[in-house]
Chain A
Amino acid sequence: ETGVTQTPRHLVMGMTNKKSLKCEQHLGHNAMYWYKQSAKKPLELMFVYSLEERVENNSVPSRFSPECPNSSHLFLHLHTLQPEDSALYLCASSRSQGSGETQYFGPGTRLLVL
């Protein structure tokens, strides 16, 4: 595997379910990101991790819980989601969190909340 991978690619869940999204980067990067992409809206930054420490929590509801066990893996734990949380969730990584660094994206997880 190369680049940034995400699993699952598609997920359907009820509002009472608990699920997790997984991201893995094979680029040797030190910073990882979660974004949400909803229809007709720009990408929204959710969380940022640098060297496994969370450096950003962009006013995201507590029903989204990130975890970064090491610099190659990032999880997004989901519980009691709402239908408006249905979106494409994208993971990205960059060499560092510094300015000018290019962020490389994974293929995304398409989430549908019923």
Chain B
Amino acid sequence: EDQVTQSPEALRLQEGESSSLNCSYTVSGLRGLFWYRQDPGKGPEFLFTLYSAGEEKEKERLKATLTKKESFLHITAPKPEDSATYLCAVQAARGGSNYKLTFGKGTLLTVNP
């Protein structure tokens, strides 16, 4: 069974204090690892898709990396508007149902001014 574990559950940073969020996964045949950002009471907003170990993607202050066991979301010099819950999800090779996403519980990030 696919598993996704995100850590820490909550992270509080000062504005400008860089840090990383972790997503550890166990899956048979990774087809994609997805990062989303979710603001309170809203739907997840797509950030990145990573497909293979060694891949990296960047967007503004965010950088996502992928190994065979985990992914990191690095946040450089965060601002208060980066405060949100960050969700990680994996998609595995599963024959006819390979569209299924297995989500982690998320990391709640708070950036204080």
Q: B93 to A99, Cβ gap below 8 A?
A: yes
Across the A-B interface, how many residue pairs have beta carbons closer than 8 Å? 68
Q: Smallest distance from the beta carbon of A14 to chain B beta carbons, Å?
A: 22
Q: B31 to A100, Cβ gap below 8 A?
A: yes
Q: A105 to B36, Cβ gap below 8 A?
A: yes
Q: A100 to B51, Cβ gap below 8 A?
A: yes
Chain A hits for B105, CB < 8 A:
40-42
A4–B44 Cα distance when bound, in Å, is 11
Q: B43 to A90, Cβ gap below 8 A?
A: yes
A104–B94 Cα distance when bound, in Å, is 21
Q: Smallest distance from the beta carbon of A51 to chain B beta carbons, Å?
A: 13
Nearest CB in chain B to that of A43: its residue = B103
A48 interface contact, C-beta 8 A: yes
Chain B hits for A55, CB < 8 A:
96-97
Chain A hits for B89, CB < 8 A:
43
A-B contact pairs, 8 of them (CB 8 A): A42-B4, A42-B103, A43-B103, A45-B101, A90-B43, A99-B98, A104-B46, A105-B43
Residues of chain A having any CB pair with chain B under 8 Å? 4, 6, 31, 40-43, 45, 48, 50, 55-56, 88, 90, 92, 94, 97-108, 110
